[in-house]
Structure 1
Amino acid sequence: MQDRLLSFPLILILSGISALMMLLPAIDALTRQDHSVARVFFYASVLGLAFVMIIGLAMSGRERTDNSDFGNLLSLLLAYTLLPLYLAVPFYEGLETTRFINAYLEMVSAITTTGLPIFDQDPGRLVDSLHLWRGLVGWMGGLLIWVSASAVLAPLNLGGFEVTASAEPGQGGIQMDRFERANSAKRLAQITYALGPLYVALTAALWFLLLLNGDRSFVALIHAMSVMATSGISSVGGVQNGASGFGGEAVMFLFLLFALSRLTFSSDTATMQKSSFLNDPEFRIGLLLVAIVPLLLFARHWLAAFDVDEVENVRQAARALWGGAFTVLSFLSTTGFESASWGTAREWSGLGTPGLILLGLSLVGGGVATTAGGVKLLRVYALYLNGRREMERLVHPSSVGRARGQSRRIRREGAFIAWIFFMLFAISLALITVVLAALGQDFESAIVLSIATLSTTGPLASVATEEPIALLQLGTSAKLVLSAAMVLGRMETLAIIALLNPAIWRD
């Protein structure tokens, strides 16, 4: 049965899973006596399952062939572009007071774990069952990234793996050609069995801890799924509006560390010989940023001589330091949750709305093969090693590098590929900014939306500007551009280029 199921394309399997997941908000709406929403999700689930079964029966008569890695990569692209059309149907019918393009944008935002605050400015507009569907889609998108990073992107040396791999991006490893490679479908199943239960267990643990700290069961569940998927989706407009307080934020802080390095839960992307995540450069750079940036904001209180008379207020100082640390980690992991003490941190530093800092943190992003978006810490580390070596050569032109093995590979070829990615990212950022500006957005809004979508940090649209950007008031063309930018930010430019290469389809 399993082999027969794995013979179908990945996009068909994902469609079937999506149809089954619609039963959960249907049951939730039924328990809340909201029969109209329950019917919408139930009918969408039944029709989706019927469609998937018809397609499956039509394909069952063909000769079974292994789905190639590039076929899975194409299915991943379809999951971010076409699957939201189906996911948006029950959301659109259940809400009844919005256009379908808004529902589609919401689903693309959720499955790419971007979390654009489309309806967050008025969370009461959505019933809890619709909030549950948003959270579930975002949570499923996070699991899809976890699994596809190892099962789809790693074999093709994409998604950050190209920095440490010996082969070119979009190609398999040369040394692996000596051996018979594992069936891609079986590899996908094995990685799902390995990471899926861990993902569910971590979500359940965070949910339980948030409950202990005072959150309602439903709010705790949405926030737990959002933290694990780094989607930033909330049913109450953010964690600052929750009831868990400092204890809940402290628990979320610990679970957000999973977005800094894959080695916190796996060891398949080790860049060092030691597998401990404390020796992982991504994790160490992430912790360094989380420590330095809040301290700089904290120290500016004295450097700029703001509120000198309140220096003795130890409690306010502690709240400012914690608000800065939580918010910095949240945006570095591209989650976008704002601490309840972030306002205190802004007042303490005297910066008002430090939008540039949050934009920069989101651009850096989290670790490779995690749910975080952005440029990724491993690429930043590769460029750091290369820059340090170039400065050594300026001082001692005849010096010989001390790095060996993997570090030398990262410093040379890895840094070269990381620089190419930076250039492609910058070109994409400039292009999307120009297009949004041509569609009527001012420069500040255009660049904030471009960074928010490409780095998959949707809450930037609310917190990086003086006034939140009204996403619902954007035109249809602008919303389609934002959808394409979110897909590009999640898939990354190198993966799109690999799909456009005609040489890979000749076999």
Structure 2
Amino acid sequence: MPRRSHGVVILVALMGLTALAMLLPAAVGFTLREHQLARAFLYSALLLGAVTLFVHLANRSGSVEKMTSAHPFFYLSFAYVFLPVLMAVPLTEAVPGIRFVDAWFEMLSAFTTTGASILEGEVTRSLHLWRATVAWGGGLFLMSIAVALLAPLNLGGFELFRNQSGVVGASLGRGEMHQSIRIDESYDDKVLSRLADQLRVIAPVYVGVTLFLWVALSIAGNPPLVALMLAMSTLSTSGIAPEGAINGLASEMLIACFLIFALSRRLWPGAQSMQQMQGPRLHDPELRLAAVILAVILVALILRASFMSSPSGLGAQLATIWGHVFTSLSFLTTTGFISEVGGGVSGIFVGAAGIVVLGLAMLGGGVATTAGGLKLMRIFALTWQARREVSKLVYPDSVGGDGERLRSLRRDGAFSAWLFLMIFIFTLTALTALLTFTGLRLEDATIFAVAALTTTGPLVHIAGPEVLHWAELGDAAKVILALGMLLGRLELLLLLSIFWRR
């Protein structure tokens, strides 16, 4: 049956939402008497709204042709590359002297929830709010497309949840395990309905949790506008906020509580293949693995404090320990907030200890959440398979039990997790090599590549012996890192499925 392109419909909707989002910094700019900035966003919103209306009318009333099924990687990549172009238009007018390629890079890093910024000097609160708003919308977009587009294909981490329900990967024989990875008309016909269903389920909760955290942070003593930025950046795991924005221990504890939402998709509605897993949410493998990782870091810090004499007293030591734990949780979820209570950049994981946050960012958060990295469920699958292999070394004739779910995770889940890990390492190596060709040192290139691929922009400020800055990069390096952000956000197995259906 003839039909319109679903990719065009999704893109038009995203353009309209982008135009509406521009009205928020425009209103704040007028309130703060930043009239030039406010006019830039207002005029851009009106222009983009008009263009969106014309495209919608043309797509609605024009000729309708039969469309061949398209792989979601193509129109998702187009959305992540094209939308930042539109988002960068008001930025070029609001920031004096900024080049368009820099504005595009800024918006791409925000939309992919990376939070890498090349803006230096005095950046107005309205601009920070625009970056946080773009990242917040990017987080909602990501959580929706993960279930609507990737789950039916057993991609994006959902390949680890086979055999859990009939929703994802229902057929499970060794020869059938990849039958659901099929881009055909039956898949394409349901794209819009699945996406709309996911938005109806997740958007009210996403907005409600953000508003709740905004109010809580305001009560904790943060200015309302800064509290809104922090709430948006926490839920989207972008780490976008003015320098020194987090006000005190109460604010950090609130943010830490809500960062837990990035550790498991089971804490959010939707994603039926995950929700139907057996056991309460507290027994979720991703949450348990995250707790173990943070507990190991906490014990190491306590032992370190006990062996090192500190004249600053018990209170300062507890503040330092809390700062390290909060920062560890933040980088595990690929957010990138650095605890001010623990001493900020100069007092958290200084020197060679920055390798810890580098590893935490690579581990990442939960599947189908706004976090990046390898994802905890993949690490759990590899760990569980390694545990079984070690057991077979001790008892070669033993029979693995653990139930049907964990046996499937050891077999098929560990294979897909290992495949993803190898592609991740290969991509990281390629990005690092390309960055060295632009003149960066190997160590700096590695840090920038990890930050881009794990979508953890603030990582460059703390992972190395010296503080690095995104603004110091050349245009070639920015394009390479933009590609890394895109690949890190769109799941590398999604790219592989274009060429290899199995």
SS at match of 2:272: coil
Residue type matched to 2:50 in 1? A
Deviations 1:174-215 (A, max 9, x none): 9xx9x9998221111111011001000000000000000100
Evaluate the alpha carbon distance shift between residue 199 and residue 471 of structure 1 in structure 2; reply closer, same or farther with a 3 A threshold. Answer: same
1:215 corresponds to which residue? 222
Deviations 1:141-184 (A, max 9, x none): 1101111111111111111111223478986279xx9x999822
Residue type matched to 1:367 in 2? G
Which residues in structure 2 correspond to 1:183-222 (within 5 Å)? 183-222=190-229
CA-CA distance at 1:483 after TM superposition: 0.6
Residue of 242, 245, 252 corresponding to 2:245: 242
2:134 corresponds to which residue? 137
Residue of 124, 144, 166 corresponding to 1:127: 124
Using structure 1 for the length normalisation, give the TM-score: 0.89
1:16 corresponds to which residue? 16
CA-CA distance at 1:346 after TM superposition: 8.0
Q: Does 1:28 align with 2:25?
A: no
1:279 corresponds to which residue? 283
Percent identity of paired positions between Structure 1 and Structure 2 = 39
CA-CA distance at 1:307 after TM superposition: 2.1
| Contact 2:117–2:471 under 8 Å retained in 1 | no
| Contact 1:282–1:378 under 8 Å retained in 2 | yes
CA-CA distance at 1:275 after TM superposition: 4.8
**1-side partners of 2:274 and 2:455: how far apart?**
24
SS at match of 1:405: helix
| Contact 2:460–2:468 under 8 Å retained in 1 | yes
Residue type matched to 2:309 in 1? D
Of 441-450 and 403-412, deviating more is 403-412
1:493 corresponds to which residue? 492
Q: Does 1:452 align with 2:451?
A: yes
Which residues in structure 2 correspond to 1:26-105 (within 5 Å)? 26-60=26-60, 61-63=62-64, 70=70, 72-105=72-105
SS at match of 1:459: helix
1:259 corresponds to which residue? 262
Residue type matched to 2:92 in 1? Y
Residue type matched to 2:124 in 1? V
Residue type matched to 2:195 in 1? L
Residue type matched to 1:397 in 2? P
Evaluate the alpha carbon distance shift between residue 45 and residue 499 of structure 1 in structure 2; reply closer, same or farther with a 3 A threshold. Answer: farther
Structure 2: state its 5+ residue gaps.
163-168
CA-CA distance at 1:431 after TM superposition: 0.5
CA-CA distance at 1:98 after TM superposition: 1.6
How many residue pairs were aligned? 486
SS at match of 1:444: helix
Evaluate the alpha carbon distance shift between residue 332 and residue 348 of structure 1 in structure 2; reply closer, same or farther with a 3 A threshold. Answer: closer
Q: Does 1:306 align with 2:305?
A: no
CA-CA distance at 1:67 after TM superposition: 9.8
CA-CA distance at 1:281 after TM superposition: 0.3
2:295 corresponds to which residue? 291
**1-side partners of 2:445 and 2:54: how far apart?**
43
**2-side partners of 1:326 and 1:67: how far apart?**
48
Evaluate the alpha carbon distance shift between residue 35 and residue 65 of structure 1 in structure 2; reply closer, same or farther with a 3 A threshold. Answer: farther
Residue type matched to 1:93 in 2? E
SS at match of 2:478: helix
Using structure 2 for the length normalisation, give the TM-score: 0.90
**1-side partners of 2:318 and 2:294: how far apart?**
15
Evaluate the alpha carbon distance shift between residue 171 and residue 484 of structure 1 in structure 2; reply closer, same or farther with a 3 A threshold. Answer: farther
Residue type matched to 2:201 in 1? A
Of 485-494 and 156-165, deviating more is 156-165
1:484 corresponds to which residue? 483
CA-CA distance at 1:330 after TM superposition: 0.2
Evaluate the alpha carbon distance shift between residue 161 and residue 140 of structure 1 in structure 2; reply closer, same or farther with a 3 A threshold. Answer: same
Residue type matched to 1:136 in 2? T
1:360 corresponds to which residue? 359
| Contact 2:159–2:416 under 8 Å retained in 1 | yes
**2-side partners of 1:393 and 1:90: how far apart?**
61
| Contact 1:160–1:368 under 8 Å retained in 2 | yes
Residue of 134, 140, 146 corresponding to 1:149: 146
Evaluate the alpha carbon distance shift between residue 18 and residue 499 of structure 1 in structure 2; reply closer, same or farther with a 3 A threshold. Answer: farther
SS at match of 1:278: helix
SS at match of 2:343: helix
Deviations 1:481-507 (A, max 9, x none): 111100011012111222456x79xxx
| Contact 1:306–1:348 under 8 Å retained in 2 | no
**2-side partners of 1:308 and 1:385: how far apart?**
40
SS at match of 2:457: coil
**2-side partners of 1:206 and 1:155: how far apart?**
32
SS at match of 1:82: helix
Residue type matched to 1:258 in 2? F
**1-side partners of 2:220 and 2:137: how far apart?**
25
Deviations 1:108-131 (A, max 9, x none): 110000011422x53x2x222211
**1-side partners of 2:246 and 2:376: how far apart?**
33
Which residues in structure 2 correspond to 1:322-471 (within 5 Å)? 322-343=322-343, 352=351, 354-471=353-470
Deviations 1:297-322 (A, max 9, x none): 231233xx422556xx2212221221
Evaluate the alpha carbon distance shift between residue 287 and residue 15 of structure 1 in structure 2; reply closer, same or farther with a 3 A threshold. Answer: same
2:166 corresponds to which residue? none
Deviations 1:83-132 (A, max 9, x none): 1111111111110222111111110110000011422x53x2x2222111
SS at match of 1:289: helix
CA-CA distance at 1:343 after TM superposition: 2.9
Deviations 1:43-71 (A, max 9, x none): 21222122222222222234487996x55
**1-side partners of 2:437 and 2:177: how far apart?**
33
CA-CA distance at 1:31 after TM superposition: 2.1
**2-side partners of 1:429 and 1:389: how far apart?**
29
| Contact 1:149–1:369 under 8 Å retained in 2 | yes
Of 407-416 and 164-173, deviating more is 164-173
Structure 1: state its 5+ residue gaps.
none
| Contact 2:305–2:317 under 8 Å retained in 1 | no
SS at match of 2:403: coil
Deviations 1:373-400 (A, max 9, x none): 0000000011011111111111111111
